[in-house]
Amino acid sequence: MATYNKNILEQKSTELLTIMQYGTDFRAYEAPLPRKPNHLWALLHEESPQNNYLLCNKESLELFNFSATFKRNSDFPLTTQHFVSSEHLTSRKPISVMEKNKLRKQGLAPIVYLQSHCDVPSDRDRYVYHLMGNISIDSYGACLNNKDFPNADLVDTSQMNSEKLLDMLAKYKFHIAFENAICDDYITEKLTRPLHVGSIPIYRGSPS
């Protein structure tokens, strides 16, 4: 049985009970204490530690009996959650370099940057800012914005996987793809999306 009803924690039953915690929302003061002998704690956290710095500590992670995180040493690793399949990466017909060169002459930059989550631990905005002083970069989204979306619908971040957006990104030769935090095993769609649309990712992320 699965339930959101926390009152079940007050029952005096000795049946084994697993309590699932979602990492981004986990707060120490909300932990289901006192912890009873029949309580098992499980952690689900697909995001990087920047979403909850408490989970950067080994002592915090050891509170959980089971984990499903981006780390490969989790009980149920989510490391490749954004890697659909090798077929997915090649399922779109890429725009040829010749066509991209034509788009370049029409004013499109060779590099695209698309971020609305600014000032993150990986410091990607500062890197892009300095790179902009040496090469043309089209920056959509809220971070270092210098270009408007061709379609107003794409401003909505829920459209990040829409065909319209993928078509736009596919026109670029290079795609700056920095994770929001640099952690072993933390790999997101930042890497797979450029490969899917036929753009070369300029990637900074998991060193492992």
Record the tokens describing residue 13, joined without a space.
Answer: 């039953």
Sequence-separated (6 or more) residues with CB below 8 Å from residue 144: 113, 115, 125, 128, 129, 132
Tally of CA atoms within 13 A in the half-sphere of 67 that contains its CB: 19
Per-residue model confidence (pLDDT) at position 2: 67
Whole-number mean pLDDT of the chain? 89
Per-residue model confidence (pLDDT) at position 60: 85
Residue 56 has a CB neighbour count (10 Å cut-off) of: 13
Tens-place pLDDT, residues 75-126: 999 988 888 888 988 899 999 999 999 999 999 999 999 999 999 999 999 9
Report, as an integer, the average pLDDT of 142-163. 84
Specify which of 1-15, 58-72, 120-134 reaches the highest per-range mean pLDDT.
120-134
CA-CA-CA-CA dihedral for 133, 138, 140, 145, to nearest 10:
30
Q: Tell me which CATH code domain 86-204 carries.
A: 3.40.50.11660
**CA dist., res. 187 & res. 57, Å (int):** 20
Secondary structure class of 161 (helix, strand, coil): coil
pLDDT at 42 over 80: yes
For residue 131, CA distances in Å to 71, 127, 182 come to 31, 6, 19
Task: Please report, for the chain, the start and end positions of each structural domain, with discontinuous segments joined by +.
Answer: 6-69, 86-204
